[in-house]
Amino acid sequence: MKRRYFVGGLAAAAGLSACGKSASTNAECADGGSQETFEWSMVTSWPPGLPGLGAAAQNLADRITRASGGRLTVKLYAAGELVPAFEVFDAVSRGAVEMGHGAAYYHKGKLDAAQFFTAIPFGLNAQEMNGWLYYGGGLELWRELYEPFNLVPFPCGNTGVQMGGWFNREINSIEDLEGLKMRIPGLGGEVLRRAGGTPVTLPGSEVFTSLQTGAIDATEWVGPYNDVAFGLHRAAKYYYYPGWQEPGPTLEAIVNREAWDSLPDDLKAIVEIAAQSVNSDMLAEFAHGNATALAGLADNPDVELRAFPEEVVELLRGYAEEIVAEMAASDPAIARIHASFSAYSEAATQWQRISEQAYLDTRP
């Protein structure tokens, strides 16, 4: 037995197939190792070539293909190539394609509970999301939620805490939110509405022009890395922080249940490990990209970096808690996820205060 493992290990290390050529397609090797090959399609919510989010999807496809030595090849399709951006969930669910990459909060309206697995305003940051999902029961709840849809979800990318956004109006008090026309999607938009503002949903392609022409007063996008690449610093003066609306948005990879079940265990492991590697890789990319881009803004006289006033943050947080409590009261599935999420949040906050936050406060 030992010798066989050794030989197999050598072959694998050398990138060689343990089986003959005739056995390499849709067949089992004589010694029982599976050499069946799989060709999967992955649809995404991202336009072609989108840096950051789109790159994460491409990385996932490439890493699975490479790590499996081509036994599982994943071909990526940008939004609109096979299905529109917001039909990724349905396409993978009904088995039209094997795999998808996007964000769970896009399923709002169809599956409101899914928003907890991307971002909740004033919710968990990236480090906490990973703690909750991988070790705090979050991923089990996510898998359970997607089960009836024939989907297996994986955390697969995180931008880290975002920025509050670009404003052409100063926010000095609660009154300044009144009538504020801002591009801010999802629950963050609902929070703004309760505070007297007007949330607007715009496709990415229209954000810059709308801000520049004054069609909107403000927009949130991601953080310095993506915002500067988008040119938003040329369309607005005030750059507000923090991004209370998306404190640690997690992207998702979803796999069709039958496609998943058809994989041998080693390919399942490759998919799982590739997704986890992309999840941490994207966070590292954004940590670096945001720090570098922010430093580049420091000398720009046309940009003023500002913190939201405390009374504004408190008001917004109050509305966010109200909205989430209403969601939980309306749906037992949301109530269960919310209970787990908020218990985790409470414990994590205590720890973060005396660890990351206390440590950062020691820096000049």
Least distance CB 172 / Ca ion (angstroms)? 23
Strand 250-256 relative to strand 99-102, pairing: antiparallel
Nearest to 183 by CA among 207, 200, 204: 200
Residue 80 sits at φ, ψ, to 5 deg, of: 90, -15
Question: Helix H segments across 94-221?
Answer: 126-130, 138-146, 186-194, 204-213
Nearest to 260 by CA among 155, 137, 153: 153
Q: Rank residues 136 and 243 by Cβ distance to Ca ion and give the closer one.
A: 243
Q: Rank residues 65 and 250 by Cβ distance to Ca ion and give the closer one.
A: 250
Strand 151-158 relative to strand 250-256, pairing: antiparallel
Least distance CB 184 / Ca ion (angstroms)? 8
Least distance CB 158 / Ca ion (angstroms)? 12
Nearest to 290 by CA among 310, 305, 308, 270: 305
Distance CA 275, CA 268 (A): 11
Residue with the shortest CB distance to Ca ion = 246
Least distance CB 275 / Ca ion (angstroms)? 22
Q: Rank residues 220 and 252 by Cβ distance to Ca ion and give the closer one.
A: 220
Least distance CB 90 / Ca ion (angstroms)? 23
Least distance CB 298 / Ca ion (angstroms)? 22
Please answer whether residues 47 and 79 qualify as being in contact, where contact means their C-beta atoms are separated by less than 8 angstroms. Answer: yes
Q: Which residues bind Ca ion (CB under 5 A)?
A: 162, 220, 246
Q: Rank residues 130 and 159 by Cβ distance to Ca ion and give the closer one.
A: 159
Q: Rank residues 229 and 335 by Cβ distance to Ca ion and give the closer one.
A: 229
Least distance CB 235 / Ca ion (angstroms)? 16
Q: Rank residues 162 and 342 by Cβ distance to Ca ion and give the closer one.
A: 162
Q: Rank residues 138 and 164 by Cβ distance to Ca ion and give the closer one.
A: 164
Please name the helix (run of DSSP H) or strand (run of DSSP E) that holds residue 350, with its range, or none.
helix 332-352
Distance CA 215, CA 235 (A): 12
Mention every residue, 6+ apart, whose C-beta is less than 8 A from residue 171: 177, 180, 238, 240, 306, 308, 309, 312
Number of neighbours of residue 269 by Cβ within 10 angstroms: 13
Please name the helix (run of DSSP H) or strand (run of DSSP E) that holds residue 239, with its range, or none.
strand 238-241
Mention every residue, 6+ apart, whose C-beta is less than 8 A from residue 158: 126, 129, 130, 248, 249, 250, 251, 279, 282, 283, 286
Q: Rank residues 97 and 156 by Cβ distance to Ca ion and give the closer one.
A: 156
Least distance CB 218 / Ca ion (angstroms)? 12
